[in-house]
Amino acid sequence: MDRLLFLLATGIARGAIFALFALALVLIWRAARIVNFSQGAMAVVATYVAFAVTAFTGSYWAGLASALVAGAVLGYVVDRGVMRFAPHDSPLAGVIIAIGVVMVLQSALGIAFGQQYRPMAAPFDQSPILIGGVPVFSPYDVFVLVVAVVVMAALALLFTRTSLGLQLRASAFAPEVSRLLGVRVSRMLTIGWMLAAAVGALAALLLVPTELGLSPHSADMLFVYAFTVAVVGGLDSPVGALVGGLIVGVAISLVTGYLGATVAPIAVLVLLVAVLLVRPGGIFSAREARVA
């Protein structure tokens, strides 16, 4: 029982990061109808910026702020520099270009910084607090959860309560009508990219201190798991990203704990296929997935 509690807690903490990253995928999907396969690589670039800034200033928070800025800038560059020119009539073109972006960014990082892991310190203690003798969340886990909840709440407010949010939603769902109504659809699209990339960068930044360290491949598995999360939840649904993140995080933790680490990727594949066969648009899809 203690072990189950412990594994659940670990899974939730990890799942929060997956959820955050999946949210970034959902944001871009809603805005541009593109699954951004380059999200992981973009986030790692931003994390390298944070690493450099933290090393230079000695402040984790300066690093975190710079990761957000770097993420947004990258989002701008990737959208305006590349994705904007992707053919719109084909769902494949965006994916293929994104794969190209991954290859370029990762190899550029490898050339610039080499392959070695760079340890990143967490801003809070990572030792779990004992509750009734069972180690549950560490202060760092709590920090991650709080950040995830705050970001999601802020985005929810942005989208539902502000004029900008309304314009963002409008240009995503009815670009032609929005344009007629005076919404700058193109600018909204770019803002969507910048928002999403910043959120993705934040997720990677939160993940790295729990792992070996920062390397060009740090976010490879994060992307795969978060993509599973987004698909399980439904690519159109921010709530789905949150719930999916918790499901996948807990599932991986339980499988690793009870069946072994080796089985985890197989469990992810099975979960993904099972959900998609039952609901091809994900659990929280309101309807048949839109034709991309």
| CB nearer to another protein: pick between 62 and 220 | 220
Maximum alpha-carbon separation in the chain: 62
Q: Confirm or reject binding of residue 39 to another protein (CB under 8 A).
A: no
Q: Is 286 in the site for another protein (CB under 8 A)?
A: no
What tokens does 99 get?
């794969």
Query: Which span (104-112, 165-173, 182-190, 192-200) binds another protein, by CB under 8 A?
Result: 104-112
How many residues in total does the chain contain? Answer: 292
If the CB atoms of residues 69 and 122 are measured against another protein, the closer one turns out to be: 122
Question: Would you say 129 or 164 has its CB closer to another protein?
Answer: 129
Could you tell me the two tokens for 96?
A: 């293929």
Site for another protein in 68-87 (CB under 8 A): 82, 85-87
Question: Both tokens of residue 109?
Answer: 């990082």
Considering only 55, 103, 150, 157, the residue that binds another protein (CB under 8 A) is: 103
| Using rule CB under 8 A, residue 22 touches another protein | no
Nearest Cα to Cα of residue 248 among 268, 273, 275:
268
- Closest residue by Cα to residue 147 from 70, 60, 229, 74: 60
Figure out which of the listed residues 4, 146, 269, 286 binds another protein, where binding follows CB under 8 A.
269
Nearer to another protein, 123 or 257 (CB): 257
Number of Cβ within a 10 Å radius of residue 177: 12
In whole angstroms, the minimum distance from the beta carbon of 166 to another protein comes to 26
Site for another protein in 113-152 (CB under 8 A): 114-117, 119, 121, 126-128, 135, 138
Contacts of 86 (CB under 8 A, 6+ apart): 34, 93, 94, 97
Indicate the SS3 state at residue 212: coil
Q: With CB under 8 A as the rule, give the number of residues binding another protein.
A: 79
For residues 245-264, which are near another protein according to CB under 8 A?
253, 256-257, 260-264
Looking only at the bridges linking them, the beta strands covering 130-131 and 134-135 are: antiparallel
In the list 47, 66, 167, 228, the residue contacting another protein (rule: CB under 8 A) is 228
Q: What DSSP line would sit under 80-149, residue for residue? A: HHTGGGS-SS-HHHHHHHHHHHHHHHHHHHHHHH-S--B----SS--SPPEETTEE---HHHHHHHHHHH
Would you say 33 or 169 has its CB closer to another protein? 33
Interacting residues with another protein between 174 and 213 (CB under 8 A): 210-213
